[in-house]
Amino acid sequence: MKHHFHVLSFLSVDEQLSMSFCVCAGNSTNTSNQTDGNGSINRPHGVKPRPYVCTVCDKRFITKAYLRCHVKRHTGENYSCTQCGKCFSLQSEMSRHKNIHTAKYKCTECGKCCRSSQHLGHRRSHSGEKQFECSVCSKRFTQAGDLVMHSRIHSEEKLYKCHMCDKAFSQSGDLYKHLRVHTGDKPYKCQMCDKAFSQSAHLNTHMRVHTGDKPNKCSLCNKSFSQSCHLQSHKRHAHSNRRPYHCPYCGKTFKTEDDLKRHVRIHTGAKPYSCRHCSEHFTSHYRLKTHLLKSHNEGTWLTYHICQKNFSQSGVLKTHVRRHEGLKPYVCTNCPKCFCTAADMKSHLLVHSDYKQFCCFLCGECFKS
């Protein structure tokens, strides 16, 4: 029984409230209610019934207290950390989170602060100890919760079904987030502006717009980013020469799959973005957004206060501001020249290269630009 509680401590709140897990003899099995041929409910290992049902998403719970905790996620009632602004639907979750700031549970190897004593299992990531083994493929894990999640790959069980569409999920939390697509529920509200979000993680990321916090720093230059995905994208575009994605039509190479997809539309003529007000179609979301602003007055223009020029995308506005301010953050690795945009630097790099990408279709002579 002690081992059962150890496993549950690594799972999300929704997982713990709505499920029971059995980890016996190295196997991890979901013990959610199942029906036999007569329609009666089988509850292995004495799993308790779940008579309390959420009227919003139909999730079931063992006790009224668990249901009350869950309902707070729908009503938007939450508790925010006074130090970082992160929000939680349960006060107990926020209290555990605060331990990160107080360094109550601190890893002696790397200094990482954990929420609770159970999470000090993180130390195993330094020792390499993986005591939890999958009985199917023998893959080993440092955390019991990781083994529980991994076991669903083999069972292919997706017990959590959406009652509004055909989608099914292996984790209750994933179903819960998906349901907001149908309901439009956005319970996580920003206290500094009118924006609301369907997930707490999205709110926490948004708060960095107000705080200016950019915790994701590039190790190769001085740039910082509010989101890790923006940092990864920056590294691919600014610091890497790898181009693993090849166009099947012309052979041109790209750094990301998205770049390739946009390029392929030049060959296919595909215009997947359609206007809901008229019959116009566009090759990119950016072109659609510009069309909506110009033709249907839908959306908000971004205006630079000095020259009053309007922009439909924040990235284009930022580039324009840099040109006004004379900022040139992109430095050539082969000479001292600096540039306002990555595209300008990329064009300049051809000076240092023998690569001639532009060829005359009449005589075959190639040129750098």
pLDDT one-digit tens code per residue, 19-76 = 443 434 334 444 444 444 443 344 444 445 778 888 877 777 888 877 877 777 676 6
Q: Give pLDDT tens digits for 109-142.
A: 666 777 766 555 666 666 667 788 888 888 888 7
Amino acid identity, position 52: Y
Residue 185 lies in a domain: no
Q: Please indicate, yes or no, whether residues 156 and 251 belong to a single structural domain of this protein.
A: no
Q: Please report whether residue 83 resides in a domain.
A: yes
Mean pLDDT (the chain, rounded): 77
Range of the domain at 262: 245-367
Query: Would 233 be classed as within a structural domain?
Result: no
Residues contacting residue 220 through CB under 8 Å, at least 6 positions apart: 235, 238, 239
CA distance 314 to 306: 16
Q: Tokens 């600096």, residue?
A: 338
21: its two tokens: 């897990």
Q: Does 155 lie in the same domain as 252?
A: no
Q: What is the pTM of this model?
A: 0.43
365: left (phi over 0), alpha (psi -120 to 50) or beta: beta
Q: Which helix (H) or strand (E) holds 368?
A: none
Task: Please say whether the beta carbons of 283 and 270 come within 8 A.
Answer: yes
For 46, other C-beta atoms within 10 Å of its C-beta total 7
Distance CA(218)–CA(225), nearest Å, equals: 8
Residue 211 lies in a domain: no
Count structural domains, the chain: 2
Mode of pairing for the β-strands spanning 60-61 and 52-53: antiparallel
115 in Cβ contact with 94 (< 8 Å): no
* Domain endpoint, select from 110, 138, 160: 160
Q: In CATH, what number is assigned to the domain containing residue 361? A: 3.30.160.60
